Chains A and B, each alone.
Chain A
Amino acid sequence: MVDPLTATIMIIAGGVLVGVCVHFIPASATGAMAAATGIATGPSMLSAGAGLAGIYAAAYSIDSGLAPVIVSGAVGSALMLLITILCGNIMLAFGIGAPPVSGQTASGKSTFSGTKDIITGFEQEGYASPGTDGHGMPFQTAVSGTIGALMGGAGGALVFYAVYSMTLPEIATENAVTLAGIVAAGVFLINSVLPAYVLVGKTEGVFDMKIRSIHRTFISCLVTSSIVACVIYAVCELAVSGVMV
């Protein structure tokens, strides 16, 4: 267990991690028409799905201490994201009949110069369908997504454990876990939606130039998470002091 002040800082750190993670997860709404690289849905909702899968996994380890909770959340989130990427690519390869390709890299507009996948070395130019900005999730974006999911899952689990620590003294364990889960899901949804204003519906993870706007997400999530953390701290303190239960 951690003391309430440390828990408040953990909520802020977790919220910021959740917000920043969205920049790393490749997603694009027009991906549903195989017209852009990235998992075929909005970055915010996809991150929320992955993050909540992480919190679900972390809940099993809640009695094992802080470190197992955070790591369980991180790997649970990564598992969800990678299964989604694999099945999205299966759909693209066998349902649409096109290979995964990074549109930004193919057109030379990637964060890293060149038109090759920086991990596998596969040439991207010429593999995107004419008139589209790539499709599917090539290996480099899958790795970027894995890093993002690890961060997001860890952030969500951090908030979950912090709220659990703050509420546990006053209410029964099973209620504290559920309450912490609700609050962690809420903090996750708030912070995963904020980057949408920077990403405007599409990102290829660290290979997209939008990664350079990450400081805006960082600041906005820091401010929002600080307010949310202060509210949670105040409510828990009032509950502990017996003013409200």
Chain B
Amino acid sequence: MAAIISLLLGTALAGLLAFLAGIFEDSESNAGSASNPNSQVQLAPQIGNRHRYFNKAISGEPPANALWATTAATIAYLLTAHFGGDAFAVLIASIIGAAASTLLLCAYGVLSHISRIASMKNFEQTMYWDSLLTPLPLDAAFGFLTALMLTLLAFAAHSLLGNPFSVPLLAFFFGITIGAIGSSTGDIYYGAERLYQHYIFGSGIPISVQGDIDVKGEYGYRNSVDTPYFTMRFGGLVTGLAFGMLIFLDAWSRLFTFAGVWTSVIVVSVLVLIILIFIYLLEVYARKRYGRYTED
């Protein structure tokens, strides 16, 4: 009975933590222009658009998130061994671990932004201190929350769901996976909509206009603090939905026992087919709703 309660609790908790982690991860990457759209922020000065975006892309989003999550989880795991293993100790240890990984994020973020802007010197891009110092605390806060959620998720997967991997390795796996999901879903909203709001809605961004990003906001120059305010309403939620659904459905498939060791495989296979049907229906809807592009 205790094992079943642990599994049910773990499934619900893991799904919730993964959903929140997805939202925070997408907001962190958008506040720091950390994923694929950083190429647009980098291109902007080359076509004469001086900007005040925070541009701290250090590496691809998956390895970067894996680094923050693994650092936080390793410290938290070592502290838990020191504090004892109850839930309160895990929470405190995770907060300390996430805080340490946030310091790392800040250090990399500052150096990365400065060196990226310095490389644009030939195109007269100025190094504005406010474009670094204003978004940095916000980016760090989202980074902290992402690392914290992923560390707690790793503890939940290890202790409640019974995954045999150690906590830091689970955090590494979740970091790589959430980075891949975040840069595949949420970043489209930042790269194709937020950065190009002055282009008409309902179209991809043609290669010929890439780099012509929005640099003006409602009041003065746009900065990266405004970005998560916009993207969290849709991009962040869909990223959270994707990662939350993955972790929740994977855990949920293990609650059944009707076919022994093959149960979860059968359940996930059925889920895969259902998702394929949803992909088909969404394509039918989108084609009917938007139709062909015409000359005008």
Contact = CB atoms under 8 A, between A and B. Distances in A.
A86 B278 contact: yes
A83 to B, nearest CB: 5
Q: A interface, by DSSP: helix, strand, loop or mixed?
A: helix
A50 interface: yes
A209 to B, nearest CB: 19
Interface string B32-66: 00011101100000000000000000001111000
A78 interface: yes
A130 B241 CA distance: 31
Interface stretch (A32-40, A210-218, A220-228): A32-40
Contact of B173 (A30, A31, A56, A97): A56
B258 to A, nearest CB: 15
28 contacts: A32-B35, A32-B36, A32-B192, A34-B188, A34-B192, A35-B206, A42-B60, A45-B61, A53-B177, A53-B246, A56-B174, A68-B262, A72-B268, A79-B271, A82-B272, A82-B275, A83-B242, A83-B246, A87-B242, A89-B286, A90-B238, A91-B186, A95-B188, A96-B202, A126-B293, A136-B286, A139-B279, A173-B164
Interface in B251-286: 254, 261-262, 264-265, 268-269, 271-272, 275-276, 278-280, 282-283, 285-286
A131 B204 CA distance: 8
A198 to B, nearest CB: 18
Contacts of A89: 279, 282-283, 286
Interface of B: 35-37, 39-40, 60-63, 157, 161-166, 169-170, 172-174, 176-177, 179-181, 183-193, 196, 201-210, 234-235, 238-239, 241-242, 245-246, 249-250, 254, 261-262, 264-265, 268-269, 271-272, 275-276, 278-280, 282-283, 285-287, 289-290, 292-293
B279 A178 contact: no
B188 A146 contact: no
Interface string A107-150: 00000000000001010001111111111111100110010000
Contacts of B254: 60
